[in-house]
Amino acid sequence: MPALKRILLKLSGEALMGDDAFGINRATIVRMVQEIREVTELGIEVAVVIGGGNIFRGVAGGSVGMDRATADYMGMLATVMNSLALADTMRQEGITARVMSAIGIEQVVEPYVRPKALQYLEEGKVVVFAAGTGNPFFTTDTAAALRGAEIGAEIVLKATKVDGVYTADPKKDPTATRYSRITFDEAITRNLQVLDATAFALCRDQKLPIRVFSILKPGSLKRVVMGEDEGTLVHV
């Protein structure tokens, strides 16, 4: 049985595209939700933060020259769309999910209220935190670190398109090698860009470990929660 009780899963927005150029690929989102269901069936409480790269990068051309904060609010709204799609797919797959937004948008989703989120988790519902931190100049990685710390998650699981943290971006440097573990200090000092430095620093300060792994590899989420050697552990 897994040792974990509560996790914060950060899902890559870009991975939702599957092989499409942008947007949400149906088969991909269904597969991700099925992987989440496997974990909830183990009795683990799951909170999710999803990125917005699949939508926001698709419209980013239109944001050139825009005020940065306005563009960031567009990015946050993109994560609301992904969160709604994710929760609806969960409903179709028999999972009860609640979306909570960091920005006021009450006609669409309920606002983030920490005690309510904790209540949902205790009831076995999956909570999807939408709109990142609610503030421009941040990312959904930082939102995952923030919400993970707030809800007392034991670990942040960053499910992304690469299978761990490398010595350099493996998409740009084919000679890069993967760490099986690395400290926060080393990741920050080496400026490894798999997560932003704010997220690394927040997790370090809160002693909240992060595991980076590939969501493109079927079954990887379950293997991670079962403690198998998957991806890279970032630790204090």
Ligand X SMILES: O=c1ccn([C@@H]2O[C@H](COP(=O)(O)O)[C@@H](O)[C@H]2O)c(=O)[nH]1
Ligand Y SMILES: Nc1ncnc2c1ncn2[C@@H]1O[C@H](COP(=O)(O)OP(=O)(O)OP(=O)(O)O)[C@@H](O)[C@H]1O
Residues that bind ligand Y (CB under 6 A): 12-14, 51, 53, 140-141, 160-162, 165-166, 168-171, 192-194
Shortest Å distance, C-beta 27 to ligand X: 21
Shortest Cβ distance from residue 93 to ligand Y (Å)?
A: 21
Beta bridge partners of 159: 11, 213
**Given the complex with ligand Y, which of 127 and 165 has the nearer CB atom?**
165
CA atoms within 13 A on the CB side of 95: 31
**Binding-site annotation, residues for UMP:** 52, 72, 133-140
Residues 132 to 151: which contact ligand X by CB under 6 A?
A: 132-133, 135-136, 138-143
Q: Within 13 Å and on the Cβ side, how many CA atoms surround 230?
A: 22
Of positions 7, 46, 75, 230, contacts ligand X by CB under 6 A: 75
- Cβ proximity to ligand Y, 14 vs 38, nearer residue: 14
Residue 74 C-beta: closest distance to ligand X, Å: 7
Binding residues for ligand X, per CB under 6 A?
A: 13, 51-53, 56, 72, 75-76, 78-79, 132-133, 135-136, 138-143
